Amino acid sequence: MKILEQSKIGNLVLKNRVVMAPMTRSRADEDGIINASAAKYYAQRASAGLIISEAINISEQAVGMPATPGLFTKEQIDAWKNITQAVHKADGKIIAQLNHSGRVAHTLNRKGLKAVAPSPIAIIGQKAYTPQGQMDYEVPLELTVDEIRKIIADFKTAAANAIEAGFDGVELHSAVGYLPNQFLMSSSNQRKDHYGGSIENRSRFVIEVMQELIATVGEGKVGIKLSPSAPINNMFDENPNDLYTYLIKELDKLPIAYIQLMQALSMFPLDEFPHFSKNPIEDFGHLTDKPIITNGGYSKDSAEAIVEAGKAQFVSFGTLYLANPDLPQRFALNADLNEPDRATMYGGGGEKGYTDYPSL
């Protein structure tokens, strides 16, 4: 099978083309220190060609969901060192997905700290998860230019911390409505300065962050996740195809490792957005010569087909990898797959639904 062949992404030689997708599991403490059992969880899945970590907060301001880990204190860095060492001992590769939630946040999850965004526009029609139950999203504070520069510096610091923690590279989370995505889309970015308005201006934040990440960790060690067809968290735009065409062409000029491109998922109400791409791999994949990791509900057969066709070089799996720590081996043997326990996907401090899924 082609997805089980050795390959290369950026500066990393990978044993196969199967990628463990970033998956929030909400198993960190109130100080953003990831649970010690995460070392076992990630090491169990080191048969992936590449592991992309769950979204990691780059600062206190970046926190969105409860119980999510950070990478901005010594204690957090030390906790991640245990994980990267466990993965490397199991002959795996792991990179850190760096995240700032922007307006996808609530003061109850952030010790009273208000959310920030490109513009003071709240998410409507959805609820925020908090320790007190689901709550309406709040109107975020509009970022000043100086504050934007501070966030870019926070990404740079988090990238350096990731390398100190032993990660093999970093990925910018610029998908599904988090802060970089908020700068891109007109529904959340109505600024009048050079970070808003035109497609070029709205892409500026993402490009500047990527440049700083590359300068910090080196060429061929930085990826980015994009979701051109995900209106979740009120990510709407009048010309999304033009936006992503421009952005991907600009990213292609940088010495990045890869682009992780989410496909349009059935959970997204794309019937309401006929101008959104129905197949991002077909519409945008050809715009770059950098490796493409495609993501979005793939099975073994559909993953093999898209890699065999040359439309993507790697496929990332979320739920399948959550429930099947030895996923490449199961693909190789055409073995049955474990079913995920959805009740234990988020939160909890024990092994159940986390490290207790059986291998063959």
pLDDT of residue 344: 93
50-74 b/e (C-beta count within 10 Å ≥ 16 → b): bbbbbbbbbbebbbbbbbbbbbbee
176 located within any domain: yes
Say whether 3 sits in a helix, a strand or coil: helix
- The CA distance from 283 to 175, in Å, is 17
Residue 44: what pLDDT? 98
Average pLDDT over residues 157-186: 98
Residue 346 placed within a domain: no
**Per-residue model confidence as pLDDT tens digits over 304-360:** 999 999 999 999 999 999 999 999 999 999 999 999 999 999 987 789 999 999 999
* Average pLDDT for 184-206: 98
Residue 273: pLDDT band by 50, 70, 90 thresholds?
A: confident
For residue range 196-253, list pLDDT tens digits in order. 999 999 999 999 999 999 999 999 999 999 999 988 899 999 999 999 999 999 999 9
Query: What pLDDT, on a 0 to 100 scale, did the predictor assign at position 252?
Result: 98
Nearest 5°: CA angle at 267, between 269 and 296?
A: 120
What pLDDT, on the 0 to 100 scale, is given for residue 262?
95
Identity of the residue numbered 129: Y
Q: What is the pLDDT of residue 99?
A: 98
Residue 250 is assigned to a structural domain of this protein: yes
Residue 112: which CATH number? 3.20.20.70
**DSSP secondary structure letters along 98-119:** EE--TTS--GGGTTTPPPEESS
Distance CA 335, CA 55 (A): 30
- Angle at CA 299, nearest 5°, toward 294 and 301? 100
**Is 159 among the domain residues?**
yes
CA 153 to CA 158: how far, in whole Å? Answer: 9
**Separation CA 310–CA 121 (nearest Å):** 40
Q: What percent of the chain has pLDDT over 70?
A: 99
> Encoding tokens for residue 132?
């007190």
Domains of the chain: total: 1
Count how many residues are written for the chain: 360
> Tokens 């490290």 identify what position?
355
pLDDT > 90: percent of the chain: 91
Residue 360 lies in a domain: no
Query: Rg of the chain's alpha carbons, rounded to an integer?
Result: 19
Domain with 315 in it: 2-322
Residue 330 lies in a domain: no
Contact, 328 vs 300, CB < 8 A? no
Which residues, other chains included, contact 342 with Cβ-Cβ below 8 Å and sequence gap of 6+? none
Q: Which member of 41, 137, 178, 195 is catalytic?
A: 178
Q: Is residue 215 part of a domain?
A: yes
Residue 270 confidence class, pLDDT cut points 50, 70, 90: low
Most confident of 8-12, 44-48, 339-343: 44-48
pTM: 0.97
pLDDT at 266 exceeding the cut of 70: no
Q: Name the band, by pLDDT with cuts 50, 70 and 90, for residue 274.
A: confident
Residue 331 placed within a domain: no
Q: How confident is the model at residue 106 (pLDDT cuts 50, 70, 90)?
A: very high
d(CA 66, CA 130): 7
178 given a catalytic annotation: yes
DSSP conformation class of 270 = G
